[in-house]
Structure 1
Amino acid sequence: MKFVFDLDGTICFKGRPVTEKILGALENLQSNGHEVIFASARPIRDMLPVLHERFHKHTMIGGNGSLIARHGALEHAASFSEDKTNVIIRLIAEFEAKYLIDGEWDYSYTGDPDHPILNNLDPAKLAKKIPLDAHQSIVKVLILAANDMKGLAERLSAMDVVVHKHGKENVLDISPKGIHKWDALSRMNVRKGEYVAFGNDANDITMFMNASRSVMIGHHEELAKHASESILLDENVEDRIVSKLESLSNNCKMCN
């Protein structure tokens, strides 16, 4: 059985790397014949620092499905069309938006110098901050602030793109049309009902909808509609995750 894990808020917390307790549980999954896949909103370059290097050649889905890396190399990148890119850039100017924009590897950033997102942005210094017009392609746009966030959200939602609203952070997460975690899994020939999913936010919904079993960490109202079960997010969350993985690993042995 394949096990697919979101990162932030699911198996790593407050921007810190995945702990050895969780990593050990993932290795136990593999010892029992299961495959471990990571699927995050982070681009691949920002997934690497929160995973120990012994996991760096695992299959990784980044940018909410726009990036796929296997065996330590970027295998696929889905970017906005030139027309969509131009419209988004015009809207950014119109709404005086602050942003984090990702290409396949490098990024552009105009947010505040003390914005919390910087805690997770290229902590290993693997990429470069470049001007917006220096990108050959853009795979993900994160709007951090604007003079009218609601109005900008409405304009973006009217476009043929995917918009996730992260209410707690008050940001807009924008991906190309049809790009989500389930799309990336499908691209890798993963079939519906062929995997177990762990996640915590709206960008995990498509992944949950097509999983054989789905485990929500904490509570998200929309995601909960598609979750098989949930794990309480408190000081004992890692112990509960490890226990759940042990149980699922044993129960799913017959599925391999």
Structure 2
Amino acid sequence: MNFVFDLDGTICFKGKRVTDKIIRSLESLQRKGHRVIFASARPIRDMLPVLHPCVHNYTMIGGNGSLISQNGQLIHSTAFTDDQTSAIKSLLSEYEATYLIDGEWDYSYTGSPDHPILNNVDPAKLAKRVPLNAHQSIVKVLILTATHVEELAERMSKLEVVMHRHKHENVLDISPNNIDKWEALSRLGIEKGNYVAFGNDANDISMFVNAAHSVMIGHHDELAKYATESIALEDNIEDKIIAKIDHLCEKYARS
């Protein structure tokens, strides 16, 4: 069975690296014949520092589905069209927006130097911070502030893009049209009902809808509608996650 794990708020907490005991649990899944896939809003560049190098060759879905890596190599990327990119740049200027924008590897940032989101941006110094116009393609946009956020969100939505608002961050998260975690799983040849999903936020809804079994970490009102079960955020959260992984590992080995 395929096991798909979101990172932040699911197996990775407060921006810290996934702990060794969770990594050992995931390695055990692989040894027992299951396949572990990571699926995050982070670009691949920012997934690597929170994962032990022993799992860097696992399949990774980054940018909410716009990037796919296998065996340490980027095998697919989906970018905004030229027209969308032009329109996005125009709106960013019109609404005096600050942002974090990702190309396939490098990024652009205009937010505050002490914004907490910077703690998760290229902590391993694997990429370059470049001007917006230096990107050959753009795969993800995070709008941090703007003069009229609601109006900007409405106009962005008319560009045929995918937009999320993360529960714990007051940001607009924008991806190319038809890009989500389920679309990326489909691109990998994974069929509906042929995977188990772990997640915690709105950008996990698409993969929860199509999973054989889904586990919500904490609580999110929208995601809860599609979760098979949930694990409360408590002091022993990691032990509970590992126990659930072990249980589902055996359940789907038998089936």
TM-score (norm 1): 0.98
* 1:32 aligns to 2:32 (yes or no): yes
Deviation for aligned residue 1:132:
0.3
SS of match in other structure, 1:184: helix
Q: Distance in 1 between matches of 2:43 and 2:168?
A: 20
One-letter code of the match for 1:238?
A: E
In structure 2, runs of 5+ residues without a counterpart are none
Which stretch has the larger CA shift, 179-188 or 160-169? 160-169
Amino acid at match of 2:34: H
How many pairs are equivalent? Answer: 255
Matched ranges for 1:1-256 at <5 A: 1-255=1-255
CA shift at 1:67, angstroms?
Answer: 0.1
Letter of the structure 1 residue corresponding to residue 72 of structure 2:
G
Render the CA deviation track for 1:121-163: whole Å, top value 9, x for unaligned: 0000000000000000000000000011111111111220001
Deviations 1:67-100 (A, max 9, x none): 0000100000000000000000000001000000
| Percent of residue pairs bearing the same amino acid type | 66
CA distance in 1, matches of 2:169, 2:67: 23
Q: Output the CA distance in 1 between the equivalents of 2:184 and 2:245.
A: 23
* Separation in 1, partners of 2:108, 2:19: 30
**Deviation per residue, 1:161-183 (Å, 9 max, x gap):** 00101243110000000000000
> Which ranges in structure 1 are unaligned for 5 or more consecutive residues?
none
Distance 1:39 1:53 in 2: 17
CA separation in 1, counterparts of 2:209 and 2:63? Answer: 19
CA displacement 1:184-221 (0-9 Å, x = unmatched): 00001000000000000000000000000000000000
* Coordinate RMSD, CA, aligned: 0.7
Cα shift at 1:32? 1.6
d(CA) in 1 for partners of 2:167 and 2:33?
38
TM-score with structure 2 setting the length: 0.99
| Structure 1 residue ranges, 4+ long, deviating more than 3 angstroms after superposition | none
